[in-house]
Structure 1
């Protein structure tokens, strides 16, 4: 076999649809995965937005060829559950990811309504997973872990915890799901490589918050001093 044949890269397309209530962090998760950024300002998604991300995975072929996976990520607005376009967004979905906010119990309970709606629109739901976002706010958790475990068991979903803000597990969970879909087992090392915790970004966020608070305090102190002089 020639070197060119050994280095051959196959290409596969995978469509992933993200659904869930408003403000659970669907857009933030996708943007963290695609662009490694995090927008603090919340802007609700209207209808649906679409993203493309290319990743490389090993193949099941023992000669070690790699395959390029072209991901189409569909970010469905939280208010689209009752809209007439949802079936169009779900058309030919290879994976469905339901996202909830671990600090918001209602966002978790409403996943049942999303599942019922999906079941009414497509006869054979594809590989599915739930993601509990905002795990950096574990101290504010509003969804009990035993309830999550029960839900996962009842529905047969894969289950992940992530933080779009810090980057924790955002890459690893999506890459792992894609690997499961294409039938490629990831080694422990490969999982660790995709599970990099973006600590430096979290530290930068904290530093920015500290600087902003200090400036606000200095401005307030300055204003108070002026008033006293007057």
Structure 2
């Protein structure tokens, strides 16, 4: 699943991670992008950015994953980063009820800034702290069904379901994009065939990374 030729990328998909501060967004990203976990990670300031290339149905898919800061004071800054996103992981901490209670607000913000067809996965993180659970799986699943979201519980610490969450979102985006290509082709160029192996860049111009904001790690 992981890996893929760096010289030939068939698709680029932008995915954002959103949710309250300290729910584990950066750890989920580190686990997926680098298979790392750090117990002393610091709060994200602004936006961090990672990529990973996967193979989906024999195509090379580059995931551009943007980790937006959860702190309230950065929300005005990060709202621009929703633009062009075709996937999102909406993350809460299963041990902090408040982080789950804020999910509707995050979802509303996401839907007002992102593409209407964005693929959204609700993620309950920190299942390794089951004994401190404050949000039941049933509550979260019910909310996800009501809002038509995918849903998984993860543990970035134990690497549980992190890969699965991203794979699900990226595969769904891949299927949607391919379906769109198939349905739009007949009327696009008077029946002319499309170029095989044409690179499809999603989201286009919005994926340009501001050099000074691409990564704000503090070591």
TM-score over 0.5 for the alignment? yes
Residue matched to 1:32 = 31
Distance 1:141 1:114, change over 3 A: same
Over the aligned positions, Cα root-mean-square deviation in angstroms equals 1.8
Q: Is the 8 A contact 1:11 1:69 kept in 2?
A: yes
* Aligned 1:177-216 pairs, distance under 5 A: 177-183=169-175
Unaligned 5+ residue runs, structure 1? 1-8, 59-65, 185-230
Distance 2:118 2:73 in 1: 18
Aligned partner of 1:148 in structure 2 is 140
1:48 aligns with 2:42: no
Aligned residue in 1 for 2:71: 79
Corresponding residue of 1:218 = none
1:94 to 80, 86, 90: 86
Q: How does 1:159-174 map to 2 (within 5 A)?
A: 159-174=151-166
Alpha carbons 1:81, 1:114 under 8 Å: kept: no
Structure having the higher Rg = 1
Change (3 A) 1:51 1:80: farther
TM-score (norm 2): 0.72
Q: Answer 1 or 2: which has greater helix percent.
A: 1
Q: Which residue in 1 is equivalent to 2:101?
A: 109
Contact 1:130/1:157 (CA < 8 Å) preserved in 2? Answer: yes
Q: Which residue of 2 aligns with 1:57?
A: 56
Deviation at 1:96, TM superposition (A): 1.3
TM-score (norm 1): 0.69
Whether contact under 8 Å (2:121, 2:165) holds in the other structure is no
Q: Is the 8 A contact 1:98 1:130 kept in 2?
A: yes
**CA drift at 1:126:** 0.8
Over 3 Å counting, the alpha-carbon distance change for 1:88 and 1:80 in structure 2 is farther
**RCO higher in 1 or 2 (8 Å CA, sep ≥ 6)?**
2
Superposed displacement of residue 113, structure 1:
1.3
The superposition leaves residues 9-30 of structure 1 with CA deviations (integer Å, 9 ceiling, x where unpaired) of 7611110000000110000001
Name 1:15's counterpart in structure 2.
Answer: 14
Alpha-carbon distance between aligned partners in 1 of 2:165 and 2:9, rounded to the nearest angstrom? 22
1:57-96 superposed Cα distances (whole Å, 9 cap, x missing partner): 22xxxxxxx1100110000000157632233110100101
Number of matched pairs = 169
Helix, strand or coil: the match of 1:86?
helix
